[in-house]
Amino acid sequence: MKDIRNIAIIAHVDHGKTTLVDKLLVASGTFRENEEISSMDSNDLEKERGITILAKTTALNYKGVRINILDTPGHADFSGEVERIMNMVDGVLLVVDAYEGTMPQTRFVLKKALEAKVTPIVVVNKIDKPSARPKEVVDEVMDLFIELGADIDQLDFPVVYTSAVMGTSSLDPDVSTQKETMEPVLDTIIKYIKAPVGSKDGSLQFQPALLDYNDFVGRIGIGVIKRGHVKVGENVSCVRLDGTKKQFRIQKMFGYLGLKRIEIETASAGDIIAIAGLPDINVGETICNPGQEEALPLLRIDEPTLEMTFGVNTSPFAGREGKLLTVRKIEERLKKETERDVSLKVSPYDQESFLVKGRGELHLSILIENMRREGFELQVSKPQVIIKEIDGVKCEPFEELQIDVNNDYVGAVIESLGNRFASLLNMQNLGETTRLNYIIPSRGLIGFMTEFMTITKGYGIMNHTFKEYKEMVHNNVGERKLGVLVSMENGKATAYSLGGLEERGTMFIEPGDEVYEGMIVGEHNHDNDIAVNVVKGKNLTNTRAAGSDHTVVLKRPRVMSLEIALDYINNDELVEVTPRGFRLRKKILNAELRKKALNK
């Protein structure tokens, strides 16, 4: 039997787990000296945002042991993946920042790991930071374990101290003991984490926990072989989610080494592999030998909590910037995404748009951003929470919210959250900053990020994770307080007209930007929308030189990211998304028709 260890690596966003995995690969000699290491976060968006979006598998050989490592997303929007990964592994490396300590997502991923009864190893990373406080952080981790109901064995966790960036580690919290090696981490994995249980000789049991997709072979199921062995070309039987059985032939099989997916011919119990051959294979189904079907328990897939519409771009600028514009193209692309992403649900909404349901704003905005970069043009609506009826009561999703904010801004944050029906659970002073914990309806978080960044001058940190569905609170939680300035003309914005509108509110555009009727060009200082003319030029007379127009000095326009734009719009507005950027607009572009619709 091969000696195998299957582990997942879990952490809060930006605590350094992806860097750590890269360093472990180097330390194990999986990479040659001259080989370029491209980080595990291979997708452009992951590199830009510094987050892991999709779970990834890698493997290394160390002292005769094959260590399979699954890098998990740290963000709550991808919680379904984290939970299913725990079903594939026997241990976890919990990476915690030596200064920040335990954060909301540390808590969230650890809870999933402890529920799955896997063996934890704690890695205190960034030990070389001048502000590091390793001993306090280990105490915080211990408190978190106790709070989450860890059993006696789980509480007896080993601790390794590392600086992944420097490639150093040791078993002692004293930074002077750090040596340029990752062996303490690898040795601890081999010593404390058990090899997978499951006999090679029994009948086959393999359960996909993750999906991938490729145009040549269709869907690919990724999981761990729980029992038995399998080879390419073999006929196997799939026990479907509804209990029916379907036979198919294994066309291709992949294993992992380093960051590469490699084709393999055979695999046995304990191996993490990817199987292709059944075009509609699903997460949680069981692959068995024909006639020896024994289904494994189904895996839980988190329900979507937010929905929004994706439709064809109907603005006057449609087709100028993108190549992929039609309903058919958008439908194909969304269908393809559901092949790979089990938490995403797509259904037709009307002739020109689709209702897309996902796990949160980040989950949906990443899909929109990927489509934009691929050349799509589309228009999307404001995300809405999905309301469920439970025992005849209307219920909505609630989240746990943690905020770290400078003491000067605490009052303003508490007031803002009070208006959004959040309940304060506790408040903890951390010296210069204060930590606030809340329970808040998910609706209350829509649009809060922009307000929060304004209140805290960009210095606040907020994190939230889904908690549960509870009875619906007050109706208009999370609506925008201020109205908008809407263009009444088509053309190019002029400095002269923007200068004249500055006291009315904050602009989103600059002189020279093209606008159309119904496009949102700024935020009004009051709570009503007004139609404005931003294309009007100065009338030139023979007493004034044409050049004197250039003396208008304008404030910088407000720049929005895609998430902020989605948060910002109201229900009668849309975001027009194109490869070059995005614009905010009213659903009904004509001012007269808008007024009529409002009066109705």
Question: What confidence tens digit (pLDDT) does each residue in 487-544 have?
Answer: 999 999 999 999 989 889 999 999 999 999 999 999 999 989 999 999 988 776 666 5
Q: How many angstroms separate the CA atoms of 10 and 113, rounded?
A: 9
- Residues 251-275 pLDDT 10s: 999 888 877 788 899 998 889 999 9
Give a yes or no: residue 199 inside a domain.
no
Give a yes or no: residue 127 inside a domain.
yes
Q: How many angstroms separate the CA atoms of 532 and 518, rounded?
A: 10
Confidence (pLDDT) at 257: 83
Minimum mean pLDDT range among 8-12, 294-298, 592-596: 8-12
Split into its structural domains, the chain has a count of: 4
Out of 288, 320, 335, a domain closes at 288
Are 35 and 104 within one domain? yes
Cβ 329 vs Cβ 352: under 8 Å: no
- Residues 341-358 pLDDT 10s: 888 899 999 999 999 998
Judged against a pLDDT cut of 50, whether residue 212 lies above it is answered with yes
Task: Output the pTM of the full model.
Answer: 0.78
* Mean pLDDT across 543-554: 62
Cβ 69 vs Cβ 59: under 8 Å: yes
Tell me the three state secondary structure of residue 330: helix
For residue 280, the domain's CATH number is 2.40.30.10
Minimum mean pLDDT range among 44-48, 102-106, 110-114, 298-302: 44-48
Q: How many angstroms separate the CA atoms of 529 and 522, rounded?
A: 10
Are 540 and 504 within one domain? yes
Are 11 and 107 within one domain? yes
Confidence (pLDDT) at 106: 73
* Mean pLDDT across 269-292: 90
Percent of the chain residues past pLDDT 90, beyond the cut? 38
- Residues 416-475 pLDDT 10s: 898 888 999 999 887 888 889 999 998 888 778 778 878 888 778 777 777 888 998 876
* Mean pLDDT across 478-485: 82
Are 23 and 150 within one domain? yes
The backbone region for 228, taken as left when phi is positive above 0, alpha when psi lies in -120 to 50, beta otherwise, is left
Cβ 354 vs Cβ 312: under 8 Å: no
Are 234 and 318 within one domain? no
Percent of the chain residues past pLDDT 70, beyond the cut? 91
Are 367 and 493 within one domain? yes
Out of 471, 487, 518, a domain closes at 471
Confidence (pLDDT) at 39: 46
For residue 483, the domain's CATH number is 3.30.70.870
The backbone region for 270, taken as left when phi is positive above 0, alpha when psi lies in -120 to 50, beta otherwise, is left
Are 141 and 8 within one domain? yes
Judged against a pLDDT cut of 80, whether residue 82 lies above it is answered with no
Are 18 and 148 within one domain? yes
Out of 148, 163, 192, a domain closes at 192
- Residues 23-50 pLDDT 10s: 888 887 765 544 544 445 445 655 555 5
Alpha helices in 341-424 (DSSP H): 361-373, 410-418
Are 508 and 564 within one domain? yes
Judged against a pLDDT cut of 50, whether residue 1 lies above it is answered with no
**By residue range, what is the domain housing residue 110?**
4-192
Higher pLDDT, 551 or 209: 209
- Residues 148-177 pLDDT 10s: 888 888 889 999 999 888 889 999 988 889
Q: How many CB atoms are located within 10 Å of the residue 468 CB?
A: 10
Are 321 and 460 within one domain? no
Confidence (pLDDT) at 171: 92
Are 151 and 221 within one domain? no
Give a yes or no: residue 562 inside a domain.
yes
Are 80 and 188 within one domain? yes
For residue 54, the domain's CATH number is 3.40.50.300
Average pLDDT, the chain: 85
Judged against a pLDDT cut of 70, whether residue 596 lies above it is answered with yes
